[in-house]
């Protein structure tokens, strides 16, 4: 999660670092906007300018929000999609502003978070979206706690639809259950549309209601019996939240100019393993996850629960043509590292991970990677093991590999 940075000199250093290292061949326009913000850092009042920094072990991007009396302006500079999503999650809700960002590759992602008044002309040039009424997509007005007294209530029927994987995918919505995950979704800035709880209030419920009021998110109260229609989980949770998340395929895959690190899962079928992998990938700072066509979907209920807030935070894609996806990676000079305990190649301790575009491929729990996927890898690594075991659980293997990659950032 991006964090507030009050050190103006540090922000200046980040801006200058970005300007000096920019890989955009047509960078002058965006860099000119960046330089104007350096001046704002010296002149704007403390309550007029908010700065956020995204870090995943190393500096990944920054957001500068200038609250003007007539028109607020927001500038986002991200080195990869993970960082851009991180920054977008920190945006205040319902704040009209003009948004500027550094790369048009993020257009679709920006549209997921920013809604634009149709009466305002918009344009996207070199990653700049200029609109006077762009706001983060949370526009409800909260007037109090809404009571649901019928199982046929439209809110309950809507949630019931999300009990199936098809319903979640078709509607770009999923449900998180329990106080821990609901609070995490709210605090992480995810696009929570509504919260429903049953029974009496508790300190956890009161905290969640307070978070919802701060973000103008509707809250509903009902009975445990009615809640059992909204969710098919047993035992029935006492609180759930509906979260919006665009389900994205490989045609929407973002390859940014910096620091692309991808985890590719080939045939991982156990949703509990998938959930653990998503959780670790989120913690390790991997920039995105791709589920090949034979893998369990990331919107599987157990994967959502096991991900502990990762779904909605870390970019995730579902491939429909595995081999076309690998071809795209090869065309963009990715180092594609296959993993196998039987690999004759070097131990993962000896591999050079300092590579601009890198992808790790892990296979299914029982058979590993498919042969046709193995043939598409450019490199291979193995996790050394003492005699007696021939393989590791895929979630454990993923954790070891991702954190060995992370260690690369701390060696200097």
pLDDT in tens, 354-372: 888 999 999 987 888 999 9
Considering the domain architecture, whether residues 62 and 28 belong to the same structural domain is answered as yes
Which of 2-6, 207-211, 330-334, 382-386 is the least confident region?
Answer: 382-386
Full residue range of the structural domain in which residue 405 is found: 250-410
Angle 82-407-357 (CA atoms, 0-180°, nearest 5)?
Answer: 45
What's residue 134's pLDDT?
56
Q: What is the CATH number of the domain that holds 209?
A: 3.30.1330.30
pLDDT of residue 135: 57
Same domain, residue pair 114 and 222:
no
Residue-level pLDDT at 99: 87
Checking if the pLDDT of 142 tops 50, the result is no
Range ranked top by mean pLDDT from 322-326, 344-348, 406-410 = 322-326
How far apart are alpha carbons 268 and 368 in whole angstroms? 9
Give the lowest-confidence range in 28-42, 168-182, 335-349, 376-390: 335-349
Whole-Å CA distances, 283 to 269, 277, 310, 403: 22, 10, 8, 9
Give the 3-state secondary structure of 18-48. Answer: HHHHCCCCCCHHHHHHHHHHHHHHHHCCCCC
> Between β-strands 49-56 and 97-101, what pairing exists: parallel, antiparallel or unpaired?
unpaired
Chosen domain end from 136, 157, 176: 136
Query: What CATH number should be reported for the domain holding residue 14?
Result: 3.40.630
What's the CA gap between 67 and 51, in Å, rounded?
Answer: 11
Reduced to 3 states (helix: H, G, I; strand: E, B; else coil), residue 147 is strand
Judge whether residue 121 has pLDDT over 50: no
Q: What is the pLDDT of residues 370-403, one digit of tens each?
A: 999 999 999 999 888 888 877 889 999 999 999 9
Assess whether pLDDT exceeds 70 at residue 197.
yes
Q: How many domains is the chain built from?
A: 3
Candidate from 138-152, 282-296, 331-345 with smallest mean pLDDT: 138-152
What is the band of 120 on the pLDDT scale with cuts at 50, 70, 90?
very low
For residues 159 and 113, membership in a common domain is answered with: no
Whether 284 and 398 share a structural domain = yes
Looking at 14-18, 93-97, 108-112, 130-134, which range is the least confident one?
130-134
pLDDT band at residue 150 under the 50/70/90 scheme:
very high
What is the pLDDT, as a whole number, of residue 342? 60
Q: Which pTM was predicted?
A: 0.90
- Residue 184 shares a structural domain with residue 40: no
Distance CA 276, CA 225 (A): 31
Residue 183 and residue 65 share a domain: no
pLDDT of residue 97: 84
Judgement on whether residues 154 and 24 belong to the same structural domain of the protein:
no
Same domain, 315 and 377: yes
Kindly tell me if the per-residue pLDDT of 280 is higher than 50.
yes
Last residue of a domain, one of 214, 244, 274: 244
Mapping DSSP to helix (H, G, I), strand (E, B) and coil, where does residue 235 land?
coil
Instruction: Please tell me whether residues 283 and 177 are part of one structural domain.
Output: no
Note the pLDDT of residue 156. Answer: 97
Asked if 209 and 305 sit in the same domain, the reply is no
342 with 215, same domain: the answer is: no
Mean predicted confidence (pLDDT) in 43-49: 85
- 56: burial class by Cβ within 10 Å (0-12, 13-18, 19+)? buried
CA 368 vs. chain centroid, Å, equals 27
Instruction: Name the domain boundary from 103, 136, 169.
Output: 136
Q: For residue 391, give the CATH number of its domain.
A: 3.40.1280.10
Can you read off the two tokens belonging to residue 293? 């066509």
pLDDT, residue 276, reads 97
Asked if residue 126 and residue 102 are part of one domain, the reply reads: yes
Q: Kindly give the residue spans of alpha helices, DSSP state H, lying in 190-269.
A: 203-215, 224-230
pLDDT at 94: 77
113, containing H or E segment = helix 107-113
Q: 295-327: per-residue pLDDT in tens? A: 999 999 999 999 999 999 999 999 999 999 999
* pLDDT, position 179: 97
């Amino acid at each position: 999660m991006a964090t507030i940075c009050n050190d103006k000199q540090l922000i200046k250093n980040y801006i200058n670092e970005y300007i000096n290292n920019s890989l955009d061949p047509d960078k002058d326009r965006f860099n000119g906007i960046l330089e104007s913000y350096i001046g704002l850092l010296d002149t704007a009042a403390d309550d007029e300018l908010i700065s956020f920094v995204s870090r995943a072990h190393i500096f990944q991007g920054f957001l500068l929000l200038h609250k003007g009396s007539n028109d607020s302006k927001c500038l986002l500079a991200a080195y990869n999609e993970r960082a851009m999503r991180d920054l977008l999650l920190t945006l205040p809700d319902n704040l009209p502003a003009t948004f500027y960002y550094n790369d048009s590759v993020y257009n679709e992602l920006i549209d997921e978070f920013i809604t634009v008044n149709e009466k305002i002309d918009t344009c996207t040039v070199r990653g700049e979206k200029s609109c006077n009424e762009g706001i983060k997509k949370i526009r409800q007005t909260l007037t109090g706690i809404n009571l649901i007294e019928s199982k046929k209530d439209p809110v309950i029927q809507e949630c019931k639809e999300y009990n199936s994987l098809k319903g979640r995918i078709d509607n770009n919505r999923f449900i998180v259950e329990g106080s821990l995950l609901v609070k995490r979704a709210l605090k992480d800035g995810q696009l929570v549309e509504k919260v429903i709880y049953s029974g009496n209030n508790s300190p956890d419920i009161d905290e969640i209601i307070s978070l919802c009021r701060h973000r103008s998110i509707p809250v509903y109260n009902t009975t445990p019996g009615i809640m059992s229609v909204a969710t098919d989980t047993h035992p029935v949770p006492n609180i759930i939240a509906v979260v919006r998340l665009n389900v994205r395929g490989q045609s929407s895959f973002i390859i940014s100019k910096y620091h692309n690190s991808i985890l590719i899962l080939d045939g991982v079928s156990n949703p509990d393993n998938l959930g653990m992998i998503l959780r670790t990938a989120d913690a390790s700072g991997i920039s995105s996850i791709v589920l090949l066509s034979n893998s369990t979907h990331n919107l599987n209920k157990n994967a959502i629960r096991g991900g502990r807030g990762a779904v909605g935070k870390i970019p995730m894609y579902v491939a429909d043509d595995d081999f076309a996806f690998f071809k795209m990676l090869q065309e963009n000079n990715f180092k594609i590292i296959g993993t196998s305990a039987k690999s004759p190649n070097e131990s993962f301790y000896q591999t050079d991970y300092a590579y601009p575009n890198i992808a790790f491929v892990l296979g299914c729990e029982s058979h590993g990677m498919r042969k046709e996927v193995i043939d598409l890898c450019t490199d291979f690594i193995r996790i050394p093991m003492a005699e007696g075991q021939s393989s590791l659980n895929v979630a454990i293997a993923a954790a070891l590999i991702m954190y060995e990659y992370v260690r690369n950032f701390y060696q200097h």
